[in-house]
Structure 1
Amino acid sequence: MHSCHQTSLLPVQERQDYWRGVIGSTYFDLALHFTEQQRFYGQLWRWDVAPFGISFLSTSPTCYRRLKQHINRHEDHHFLITLPERHEVHFSQERRSVRCRPGGFILERSDKPYEFEYGQDNSLWVVRVPGSLLRARLRLPERYLFSEFDRSQGLGAVFFDYFRSITNQVACLDDRQAALLMRQLIELFALAVEGDPRAIASDDSGLRQVHLQRVEQYIREHIREPGLNPEQVAAACGISTRYLHKLFQGQEFSVGQWIRELRLQGAEADIRRGGSGRTLADIAYKWGFNDQAHFCRSFKTRFGITPKAARRG
């Protein structure tokens, strides 16, 4: 679905409330402060590609605050990939911050309070990604917060070029095609941030970071093997099973849960893609599920619908 919103035809006194509603429906609840209240303007183009969102907005200087009362712990939160076009933006959360200039991009998380602002008239692209989906590809997306990534060269440029090609053609694509391309975009985003040396600026020790990357790479490479389990992963990566579990301690997924999440996300993408002629049993087996009944139960628990319903989708 495509929609466009603008304030230019509204009386000045109505623009700010209107814009708050536009922002809330496009992203999530936020408190807005307008630096130049008497001359505020805003335009926003929005494409909904379930479960993703793409938007392009141009506004006068604005501060967006995500407050505690805006956050519902029982809902799947989102990450935002932000790409400023005209001027610098500033994102701060939990006493850490990052500035992003045109030519770069940053990652933001929505499940904790934050402040996002720009002090000059600005235009920016924003991609909204479900937290669970991004976490299936980047086990700890928090490692990639507060880093400015370069979109002018290397994998960052590949990611941005692919993103712009999607936005140029999204109106010509059906929902299934657009969703498939968006999943590939997230894969490119993950490759870009993982390949940027500045992304290693995390609280993890260097050795712990090396182990995590090796574990994640091994799991992705062997995710379709039915027998993949923590013991196999630990042995292949040269660490103890106990240490492997410790690496995942305090995170959203345990190692076993993350393996299951990757498999379910892969199966769900294949089912919604359609056109392959594969049966549901074939897809379940492809992604490491030996028991189709168990696969169907796990799928419905995770996505709220059965695999058959997802295929009809």
Structure 2
Amino acid sequence: MTCTSRDVAVAEPLRPADYTVEWIDTAYAPGEPSEYWVEHVRTNHGSLQLHFADPPVFRGGTVVQRNATHQLVDFWSDALRYVRTDADVKADDRQGNLLLVARHGVLEVEQSGVQMRLVPGQAAVLTKARPLQVRHAFGVRGWTFEATDVSCPAAMDRHPTVVDLRNGLGSVVFSMLSTVSQQHRTLDSYQFTRSCTTLTDLLIASMLERCGLPDTLNSVEHAVRQYVTAHSRDPELSPRAIAAALGWSVRQIQLALQQAGTTTSELIRSARVNRAADLLRGSSPGTTITSIAFESGFRSMSTFEAVFKQHFGVTPREARALAHQPVDDVRG
């Protein structure tokens, strides 16, 4: 990438929305290149300690794409060691997750006692909530990707995760990262967000497919089913409410239930209609079907009757009549 003096630290909105792109090259830094790089990196990633091999002649550059919810950084530089200490973790509110992708050269990463050596086409999912170290030699190039609206699955919170982006679905993630990065001048905020949202979904799917997160999908599915069963009578129950209560994102829950062949809405409907059937069987003649519908979480009688008929093949009224019919009459 060729950079002129007017390109240094240029941040401009490419569209009326909040999407911005910033290009920097330390060759055109107004002061010491290493000091300029420290300030730039901390702006992008929070509190870090940087150890340079040769500070006076350090050379590095980035293209930073960001809006309110996502950030993609294309970076290249001379040899460097980044350290995020316990003090750094406490010094800022950057507690989210970071995808670090090797493109050229080797990235040596350490977190939670796990050492990783990333070659081109490999990535690591790291958390900023714990100390970490990243080291690389001269001539390295890579990406970092962050999404503020995605909750990290529990398995990722406990251990850093290596993801292979050279084959299968991982290669699709790599290609999308490359395309979004290359199109930094032409995207608007909506297009950038949509692209990054798709990237996040594919990344999670790729990790689960490669067993980077063992049992994560099953754990999510089990937790969602339990929560829906316990709270189905709440008429405000929704995918967003479930995600907020369990600490997952809506997309992660959708992915887990998709693998199980269902959806959040289907689970809620099924739990409500089964509860209604139980109430019908045990209800007294004076209990109205309308009250049972509302007690089960339905807001509309027409919806309740349609779902009940679709689920059981009879109307709620017919089900109640069958439940109270003498056994001999039912046997014919």
Paired residue type of 2:122: G
Pair 82,256 (structure 1): closer, same or farther in 2 beyond 3 Å: closer
| Alpha-carbon distance between aligned partners in 2 of 1:218 and 1:67, rounded to the nearest angstrom | 36
| Alpha-carbon distance between aligned partners in 1 of 2:110 and 2:98, rounded to the nearest angstrom | 13
Match of 1:181 in 2: 195
Number of residue-to-residue matches in the alignment: 234
2:208 is aligned, of 194, 216, 221, to 194
Deviation per CA, 1:126-153: give whole Å up to 9, x if none: 11233x6132xx34323661x4322121
Match of 1:228 in 2: 228
Match of 1:271 in 2: none
1:3 is aligned, of 18, 22, 26, to 22
Match of 1:213 in 2: 217
8 A Cα contact 2:243 2:249, kept in partner:
no
1:133 is aligned, of 137, 150, 155, to 150
Deviation per CA, 1:79-102: give whole Å up to 9, x if none: 111111211111112322111001
Paired residue type of 1:45: V
Pair 95,37 (structure 1): closer, same or farther in 2 beyond 3 Å: same
Match of 1:29 in 2: 47
8 A Cα contact 1:80 1:127, kept in partner:
yes
SS in 1 for 2:120: coil
8 A Cα contact 1:91 1:99, kept in partner:
yes
Structure 1, unaligned runs of 5 or more: 201-208, 233-253, 267-284, 293-313
8 A Cα contact 1:56 1:124, kept in partner:
yes
Please give the residue correspondences for 1:36-115 in structure 2 after superposition, counting only pairs within 5 Å. Answer: 36-72=54-90, 75=93, 77-115=95-133
- Does 1:157 pair with 2:171? yes
Deviation at residue 286 of structure 1 after TM alignment: 11
SS in 2 for 1:133: coil
8 A Cα contact 2:33 2:56, kept in partner:
no
| Alpha-carbon distance between aligned partners in 1 of 2:124 and 2:162, rounded to the nearest angstrom | 5
8 A Cα contact 1:105 1:149, kept in partner:
yes
Deviation per CA, 1:147-188: give whole Å up to 9, x if none: 432212101111111222222334322212311221111000
8 A Cα contact 1:34 1:40, kept in partner:
yes
Tell which structure's C-alpha radius of gyration is larger.
2
8 A Cα contact 2:45 2:94, kept in partner:
no
Deviation at residue 71 of structure 1 after TM alignment: 1.7
| Alpha-carbon distance between aligned partners in 1 of 2:126 and 2:60, rounded to the nearest angstrom | 22
Structure 2, unaligned runs of 5 or more: 1-19, 233-241, 254-264, 269-296, 300-332
SS in 1 for 2:105: coil
Deviation at residue 121 of structure 1 after TM alignment: 2.2
Range moving further from structure 2, 84-93 or 171-180:
171-180
Deviation per CA, 1:210-263: give whole Å up to 9, x if none: 4x532324667x79xxx814699xxxxxxxxxxxxxxxxxxxxx998217x545
Paired residue type of 1:213: L
Q: Percent identity?
A: 15
Match of 2:257 in 1: none
Match of 2:287 in 1: none
SS in 1 for 2:36: helix
